Amino acid sequence: MTITLTKPDDWHVHLRDGAMLNRVAEYTARQFARALVMPNLSPPVETVEQALSYRNRILDAVPSELNFDPKMTLYLTEKTSPIQIKEAADCEHVLGFKLYPAGATTHSEFGVTRVAAMMNTFECMAKHNVCMQVHGEVTDPHVDVFDREAVFIDQVLETVHRELPEFRMVLEHITTRHGIDFVKQSSTNVAGTITPQHLMYNRNEMFKDGIRPHHYCLPVLKREEHRMALLEAATSGDPSFFLGTDSAPHTRHSKESACGCAGIFSAVAAIEYYAEIFDSIEKIDRLEGFASHFGADFYRLPRNTGQITLARKTRIIPESIQGSHADDHEEEVVPLKAGEDVSWSIEKEA
How is residue 326 annotated by DSSP? T
Cβ(183)–Cβ(241) below 8 Å: yes
Strand (E) or helix (H) holding 316: strand 315-316
Residues between 282 and 341 with contacts to ligand NCD, criterion CB under 6 A: none
Which one of residues 9, 10, 87, 246 is an interface residue with ligand NCD (CB under 6 A)?
246
Cβ(32)–Cβ(10) below 8 Å: yes
217 near ligand NCD, rule: CB under 6 A? yes
**Which x/- pattern over 26-65 shows residues binding ligand NCD (rule: CB under 6 A)?**
--------------x-------------------------
Residues between 7 and 26 with contacts to ligand NCD, criterion CB under 6 A: 14
Cβ(329)–Cβ(254) below 8 Å: no
Q: Which does 135 bind (CB under 5 to 8 A by kind): ligand NCD, Zn ion, none?
A: ligand NCD
> What is the three-class DSSP state of 194?
strand
**Which x/- pattern over 71-110 shows residues binding ligand NCD (rule: CB under 6 A)?**
----------------------------------xx----
Stretch that binds Zn ion, among 146-154, 208-216, 239-247, 279-287 (CB under 5 A): 239-247
**Which x/- pattern over 129-168 shows residues binding ligand NCD (rule: CB under 6 A)?**
------x---------------------------------
Cβ(266)–Cβ(335) below 8 Å: yes
Residues between 252 and 271 with contacts to ligand NCD, criterion CB under 6 A: 262-263
Rounded distance between C-alpha atoms, residue 58 and residue 98, angstroms? 19
- Concerning whether 246 is annotated as a catalytic residue, the answer is yes
196 near ligand NCD, rule: CB under 6 A? no
Q: Which does 262 bind (CB under 5 to 8 A by kind): Zn ion, ligand NCD, none?
A: ligand NCD
Rounded distance between C-alpha atoms, residue 103 and residue 40, angstroms? 12
Rounded distance between C-alpha atoms, residue 39 and residue 17, angstroms? 10
Choice between 246 and 279, CB closer to Zn ion: 246
Choice between 137 and 246, CB closer to Zn ion: 246
246 near Zn ion, rule: CB under 5 A? yes
Q: Which does 137 bind (CB under 5 to 8 A by kind): Zn ion, ligand NCD, none?
A: none
User: What string of H, E and C letters represents the secondary structure of 222-283?
Assistant: CCHHHHHHHHHHHCCCCCCEEECCCECCCCHHHHCCCCCCCCEECHHHHHHHHHHHHHHCCC
Q: Which does 139 bind (CB under 5 to 8 A by kind): ligand NCD, Zn ion, none?
A: none
Amino acid sitting at position 47 = T
Pairing of strands 307-311, 345-349: antiparallel
Tell the smallest beta-carbon distance from residue 207 to Zn ion (Å): 23
Choice between 22 and 40, CB closer to ligand NCD: 40
Q: Which does 40 bind (CB under 5 to 8 A by kind): ligand NCD, Zn ion, none?
A: ligand NCD
- Is residue 229 packed enough to be buried (19+ CB in 10 Å), middle (13-18) or exposed (0-12)? buried
Rounded distance between C-alpha atoms, residue 342 and residue 290, angstroms? 19
The angle that helices 224-234 and 177-185 make with each other, rounded to 10 degrees, is 40
- Is residue 302 packed enough to be buried (19+ CB in 10 Å), middle (13-18) or exposed (0-12)? exposed
Residue nearest to Zn ion (CB): 246
Residues that bind Zn ion (CB under 5 A): 246
Residues with active-site annotation: 246
Residues that bind ligand NCD (CB under 6 A): 14, 40, 105-106, 135, 217-218, 246, 248, 262-263
